Structure 1
Amino acid sequence: MPRLARSFKICLALTASLALAACSASGNEDRARVTVIDDAGTSINPVGIRLNYASATARSAVAKGLIGLDEQGRVVPSIAARWIVTDDGLSYIFRLNETKWEDGRQITAERIATLLTERFVELRTSRLGRDLRVVDEIISMTGRVIEIRLDSPHPNFLQLLAQPEMGLFRAGHGAGPMIEFDRAPFYQLAPLVLPDENEEENPEEEETAVEDDPRRVTLRSETASRAIARFDAGHIDVVLNGKFHHLPLIDESGINTNNLRLDPVAGLFGLRFIRGEGFWSVPQNREILSMAIDRPALLTSFPNVTAWKSRQKIVPEALDVAGINTRPDWASMTMQDRIAFARQHVSRWKASEGFVQPLSVSLPDAAGADILFIRIRADLRRVGLDARKVGLGAEADVLLIDELAPYDSPQWFLSRFSCDQTPVCLNDADSKISEADAATNLEIKARLYAESEQMLVNHYNYIPLGTPVRWSIVRPDQRGFAVNPRGWHPLNTLVGIPIS
């Protein structure tokens, strides 16, 4: 039985069992039932530096940082009420809200400065580590003002500070806007209710206030088939973190596509070389792979995503520098001309060097990934090459990269292909990126990043395919949800709780 049919039968069976076993609370706007799709089935734990999507979502709900992201992906005040940035871009000064931690202790600038310093050290080996190198020091200026000083300008530093990893805990206590209420049988959150400053503190009354507040969010983490089944049965209000390889399940489930929400995200979706042997050790041969792939045809294999954009370069066009062309040399060629050129190149190589081993492609074990692979293999066969699919973690030539950009920075895109990220790399490009990181003039910084992209595009250690796909399923009457370019959906807004 094909994988998709088997998954769909499991999905239907689960839907039927859920319809009998569960009680629906649909239509109660004070409660939101949320499932995050996670192929690995990992648990929800908001503590740590490498957070899966569900854990990051939980952390942003219970441990806010200086600033945060709202349901539209915009940077908004959180612990900080407001801020200013100096003209040189090297100093960010924040005035804090007058608020408290979950345990009732007052939030102070001195404590926040200490916690941020410690957190930045913890995150050095995380996905944010490279960007955080720009921080020089954090200073507590008065009881409610802190300053963060940078070594060089970082135009997207506020977006960096708004990431969920930047949420702060003090002795295990966050500052809301929600609190962890229960973990069994699933993660439950309730509003953080701080005591009235004019009343004497009574822990029992505070606990009762939390229990009596009807606003609740339940959070699960499970596979796509189970998440879709729960939604179809009426027991989930929001499904988050859907990816391209889950899309066939939507097609087969019968869920109304009006409930499908697609975030207009930026990021990386393509093939990163993690091994360069034989034919694939030569950049000009890796270029053949990039030329051979018919991106529009590949992306239209997924009918629910009509706005999926193909890509030929690394950094989005919106971040391009005027006067510097970072597109590949063949970008203006027709698909027919690209195929003809690639076929001739491969024929000459085989005549000189002999047989070319099939390209091994590491992909998720899912129906959507099978569709992607079949298209890539067919395109390679048109030019005299072949491919084979292997699972995630297996030895491979290329690995599918499917990542969202947390902020609008060329540096984020380019650093994913540096020598500390992949063995197929270019030292000269690394040096150019480091030079750009250190530059204090923003125009020079942008130009150096663009020159770095030119080098990496010509090195072909990454074959861009398109923008990433992130989808959610949301009931029409669900409040506090909006599609956004960050692909980020906070829990507190789903039940009408402000972040600060």
Structure 2
Amino acid sequence: MKSQKKPLIILLTAAISIAAQAANAESILRRGNGSEPHSIDPQTAQGVPESNILRDLFEGLIGEDASGNLVPGVAEKWEISADGKTYTFHLRDAKWSDGSPLTAHDFVYGWQRAVDPATGSHYSFLLYPVKNAQKIAEGHEKDVNQLGVKATDDHTLVAELEGPTPYFLGLVTHATAYPAPKAAVEKHGKKWTRPENIVSNGPFKLDSWQPNAQLVAVKSDQYWDKDAVKLDKVIYYPTENQTSDMNRYRAGEVDMTYEIPNDQIKMLRENFKDELKISSYLGTYYYGFNVTRPPFKDNPKLREALTLAIDRDVITDKVTGAGEKPAYSFVPPGINGYDHYTPEYASLDKAARIEKAKKLYEEAGYGKDKPLKVDLLYNTSENHKKIAVAVAAMWKQNLGVQTNLTNQEWKVFLNTRTEKKQTEAFRAGWIGDYNDAYSFLELFQSKSGLNDSGYVNEKFDALLAQAGQEQDMGKRAAILKDAEKMLTDDYPVAPVYSYVTKRLVKPYVKGYAEENVMDHRSSKYMWIEK
């Protein structure tokens, strides 16, 4: 009997040990995250890779669930005045990651910091609906305390707006409207986001950051909703090369990719059908023209010619091939309560479109004997390169344009594009910060920090201002459509296609919503189940 019991005891002991190890094992989500983050300061960051990280490290007044629906964040409830111009937010008991209380004053400081020109925020325009925000951001009002936001007590924040803003609740989900830890910012200056200095208020906190290698965030034990967070750790890998990202996934090194190579979609559909996630995405892929310098300054016919010479059907069918839709105007389909503008050239067949492009090209001063020589800049990426090569070939074949393709690493690319000193034509993409046409059109306001084309049109600005004051949603949509028509017909940009998200996700990653048109995917709602 003894000889029979001993193996049983050993087996039971081993089983208990394995179970204990499983129970104690960390639950880790490994995310491919595109480019190395430019910044993880909520008020200065820009780009999707940065937003993915910030959404885990911080939380605004309003949050988003796994499908992108608005849910209470730090604010547990709120009221909106009858005229739509005053929002009162009631904050829950929440803490910073260092255990100190999070108060309404931290939101006041964050918002003031966002519009203060000294901060250098590229997204200060997002807060322009707030009273005096634009005046402060443009330097006409020097006192940031004049911004229309105040803390009436530690748990109450009141925002006064310039006019009714139907999308305001969606707007404050953006990182620009996150709270900022005043003590940490003032003590450490620009170094406050380093792992040893940072203080955040989200479901995760920064543990370590090895530039161009990985950024690690761990579950915050100070987060108000920590019991809902199932992951112990999230690791973000900056992998600009989509093939490398895919190969790391196939090798089991990442659990979800940032993106996938366009030329591998057919193979992935055949071999990774259940892991390939393709869904609608509220965004536009486009090429911008720098209208502040030659050759595109004061030459709308040239900009129009190059726009018409792009065969979007070929790009979406042959180059990208994941279900993207050709885009002829900047606002994508799928916007709530909005029917976007479609220009006349979208209905022309290919031959008629090219014929018109050639005529415009000649009228702009170019031809066989005087071909346009243009630099086309894109950020380092296999997918961006393939699209740029295709567009350059179309410009060459249809018009005789000689295109010099140049690529730059993400951080350098952003700075080059923003400065406008070297760029001529450049690759860009815009993802809606909230589900409203205004989120796309405001990019081209004359003073917008992200207006990389340098487009200036006072009539366009006036239409956006008018839309900001209009309470009738039907009339507001009509005003925005007029603005979109004006922008489209001025050709500061050439829309190429409406985005879809396309990535690989391991079957054991749970909580990944199939449809999330904003692709705002907080790690808070995901977990590992092996």
If the TM-score is normalised by the length of the shorter chain, which range does it land in? 0.7 to 0.9
**2:309 is aligned with what amino acid?**
A
Aligned partners of 1:119 and 1:166 also within 8 Å: no
Please name the residue that 1:187 is paired with: 215
Residue 90 of structure 1, CA deviation: 1.0
CA distance in 2, matches of 1:480, 1:270: 31
Relative contact order, higher structure (CA 8 A, sep 6+)? 1
Name which of 30, 35, 51 aligns with 2:32: 35
Residue correspondence of structure 1 range 249-260 to structure 2 within 5 A: 256-260=272-276
Residue 442 of structure 1, CA deviation: 4.2
Please name the residue that 1:296 is paired with: 313
Residue 465 of structure 1, CA deviation: 1.0
**1:189 is aligned with what amino acid?**
A
Q: Is the partner of 2:518 in helix, strand or coil?
A: coil
CA distance in 1, matches of 2:385, 2:122: 28
Aligned partners of 1:49 and 1:126 also within 8 Å: yes
Please name the residue that 2:488 is paired with: 457
Residue 356 of structure 1, CA deviation: 2.9
CA distance in 1, matches of 2:522, 2:504: 15
User: Under a length normalisation based on structure 2, what TM-score does the superposition of the two structures give?
Assistant: 0.73
**1:289 is aligned with what amino acid?**
L
Is 1:150 the counterpart of 2:181? The answer is: no
CA distance in 1, matches of 2:45, 2:507: 33
Name which of 55, 62, 71 aligns with 2:57: 62
Please name the residue that 1:206 is paired with: none
Deviations 1:430-466 (A, max 9, x none): 4434532652434554433322222222211111111
CA distance in 2, matches of 1:383, 1:431: 34
Is 1:176 the counterpart of 2:232? The answer is: no
Please name the residue that 2:471 is paired with: 441
CA distance in 1, matches of 2:103, 2:362: 69
CA distance in 1, matches of 2:34, 2:201: 27
Aligned partners of 1:95 and 1:145 also within 8 Å: yes
Residue 330 of structure 1, CA deviation: 2.6
Residue correspondence of structure 1 range 468-479 to structure 2 within 5 A: 468-479=499-510
Residue 155 of structure 1, CA deviation: 1.7
CA distance in 2, matches of 1:43, 1:319: 29
CA distance in 1, matches of 2:424, 2:435: 29
Deviations 1:111-147 (A, max 9, x none): 3453344344358743431121221222334553322
Is 1:114 the counterpart of 2:147? The answer is: no
CA distance in 1, matches of 2:354, 2:71: 49
Name which of 475, 490, 495 aligns with 2:522: 490
Deviations 1:327-381 (A, max 9, x none): 3233332222222333455567779995232443222344433432343234334
Question: Larger deviation: 350-359 or 410-419?
Answer: 350-359
Question: Larger deviation: 283-292 or 376-385?
Answer: 376-385
Question: Larger deviation: 440-449 or 367-376?
Answer: 440-449
CA distance in 2, matches of 1:426, 1:366: 30
Residue correspondence of structure 1 range 364-375 to structure 2 within 5 A: 364-375=379-390
Aligned partners of 1:73 and 1:488 also within 8 Å: yes
Is 1:310 the counterpart of 2:326? The answer is: yes
Closer, same or farther: CA 106–369 of 1 in aligned 2, 3 Å: closer
Closer, same or farther: CA 272–49 of 1 in aligned 2, 3 Å: same
CA distance in 1, matches of 2:170, 2:372: 44
**2:28 is aligned with what amino acid?**
R
Q: Is the partner of 2:99 in helix, strand or coil?
A: coil
**1:166 is aligned with what amino acid?**
A
CA distance in 2, matches of 1:43, 1:457: 30
Residue 228 of structure 1, CA deviation: 2.4
Give the CA RMSD over aligned residues: 3.7
Name which of 396, 401, 416 aligns with 1:386: 401
Please name the residue that 1:11 is paired with: none
Aligned partners of 2:217 and 2:233 also within 8 Å: yes
- The alignment covers a number of residue pairs equal to 448
Please name the residue that 2:175 is paired with: 164
CA distance in 1, matches of 2:506, 2:223: 34
User: Under a length normalisation based on structure 1, what TM-score does the superposition of the two structures give?
Assistant: 0.77
Q: Is the partner of 2:399 in helix, strand or coil?
A: coil
Structure 2 unaligned regions, length at least 5: 1-21, 132-147, 185-198, 408-412, 417-421
CA distance in 1, matches of 2:41, 2:276: 27
**1:315 is aligned with what amino acid?**
V
CA distance in 2, matches of 1:222, 1:486: 21
Structure 1 unaligned regions, length at least 5: 1-24, 197-208
Residue 44 of structure 1, CA deviation: 7.1
Closer, same or farther: CA 261–272 of 1 in aligned 2, 3 Å: same
CA distance in 2, matches of 1:266, 1:449: 17
Residue 91 of structure 1, CA deviation: 1.6
Residue 265 of structure 1, CA deviation: 1.4
Residue 32 of structure 1, CA deviation: 1.4
**1:229 is aligned with what amino acid?**
N
Q: Is the partner of 1:179 in helix, strand or coil?
A: strand
Residue 42 of structure 1, CA deviation: 4.7
Closer, same or farther: CA 46–228 of 1 in aligned 2, 3 Å: farther
Please name the residue that 1:402 is paired with: 429
Please name the residue that 2:194 is paired with: none
Is 1:94 the counterpart of 2:89? The answer is: yes
Aligned partners of 1:280 and 1:286 also within 8 Å: no
Is 1:340 the counterpart of 2:340? The answer is: no
Closer, same or farther: CA 333–80 of 1 in aligned 2, 3 Å: same
